Amino acid sequence: MDVLATGSVSASEAALRELTPVEELADDFTMWARSEAERAARLMAYARTLQGEEHSPSGQYLLSVLRMRTRRLVDWVLLAMTTPETRAVMPIVARGVRSTDPETQSQAIEALETVGARQVLSVLLPLLESDGSKPPSSRERALDELSADFDPWLKTLASRALAETEGSAADVSVPSLSVMEPMATPRILSAMDKVLALQRVHMFSELDPEDLDLIARATTESSYEPAAPVYLRGEPGEELLLIVEGSAVVTTGEGSERRLIETYGPGEQVGELALLTGGARSADVHAGEEGLRGLALSNSDLMSVLEERPAVSLGMLGTLAKRLIEQT
């Protein structure tokens, strides 16, 4: 219980799985689950208010993080409330919690009442009632409240979203969640700018912001003039480039035989095919007409990420399959 109250996300999840399922819900465990359910309901309410948030990059990512945080909390509460008497009905309850349909929510409540799990129902009620936590009256009110939240990422993103509306987002920095040596050269992009750029990349889009921060701090910034070579065919594949601005043009062949393979833009990556296969570059990559700015991730840093984060591996496999199809 101490780990649940004060531990990291991974430690809390490990403690929760060690504690559950339980034969009988203890008072302290029930109180913890109720507080998490209430927290999830509040975050759901904020997400409803910010639905369709298109005012700023930070606002868009804030909505994504709210959903990620909510999904985890819901999963934790459902796991914590799984007892021998609720095990059979928990799939119905899970559907009800994740649905906005009143009838589906009612089915979940009825399922818990049928097995007499009133203690469990009292904990899950904020999640099973669409009005369990009323959303703030406006976008500005939601952002203002979130900017005072204890979660450093929700707090920072909400503050940046407000600042971006006023044109002063550069004054809001990323939480200090990882320790890095001072960089030898000045950075053009802030740590938060890198995180926001990385979350646009498909293979990183479902990662928690804490993980993106660690990846972001392992990248180095690269910029190329229009038509400048980025990677050349036959070179060893020692890094991939995540595109922040501009475009990358991939071609094969020489002179009149040169053939366009693909053009990639912001939120996409180039160079991962050779990096993952360990072979040489199979095509030439040049900056597009408007130039190219990106974040380079080395082989060793990427392999560390893939070993630690299976979700990234799955995203990379999908991207790799797509690239292989494009080049055949």
Across the range 263-274, mean pLDDT stands at 87
Alpha-carbon distance of 25 to 27, in angstroms, equals: 7
pLDDT beyond 90 at 83: no
pLDDT beyond 70 at 88: yes
> How many domains are contained in the chain?
2
Name the CA radius of gyration of the chain, rounded.
23
pLDDT beyond 80 at 213: yes
Alpha-carbon distance of 96 to 90, in angstroms, equals: 10
pLDDT beyond 70 at 187: no
Mean pLDDT of the chain: 83
> What percentage of the chain has pLDDT greater than the value 70?
85
Contact 297, 242 (CB under 8 A): yes
pLDDT beyond 90 at 143: yes
Whether 166 is covered by a domain: the verdict is: no
Residue appearing with tokens 């797509």: 322
138 shares its domain with 240: no
Across the range 248-256, mean pLDDT stands at 90
Q: What is the CATH number of the domain that holds 281?
A: 2.60.120.10
218 shares its domain with 273: yes
Among 103-107, 133-137, 144-148, the minimum mean pLDDT is found in: 133-137
pLDDT digits (tens, 9 = 90+) for 46-69: 998 998 766 678 898 999 999 999
Whether 243 is covered by a domain: the verdict is: yes
The residues, ordered by sequence, that sit 6+ positions from 240 with a Cβ below 8 Å of its Cβ are 269, 270, 271, 272, 275, 296, 297, 302
209 shares its domain with 300: yes
120 shares its domain with 7: yes
Alpha-carbon distance of 117 to 278, in angstroms, equals: 55
Q: Containing H/E element for 295?
A: strand 284-298
Coil/strand/helix, residue 168 = coil
Alpha-carbon distance of 139 to 142, in angstroms, equals: 5
109 shares its domain with 227: no
Can you give the residue range of the structural domain that contains 85?
2-146
Measured over all CA atoms, what is the biggest interatomic distance in the chain, rounded to whole angstroms?
Answer: 77
Whether 156 is covered by a domain: the verdict is: no
User: Whole-model pTM?
Assistant: 0.79
Q: Which of 134-143, 160-169, 173-182, 186-195 has the highest mean pLDDT?
A: 134-143
Whether 162 is covered by a domain: the verdict is: no
Whether 77 is covered by a domain: the verdict is: yes
pLDDT of residue 69: 93
223 shares its domain with 129: no
Whether 103 is covered by a domain: the verdict is: yes
202 shares its domain with 136: no
128 shares its domain with 254: no
Tokens of 214: 């660690």
pLDDT beyond 70 at 191: yes
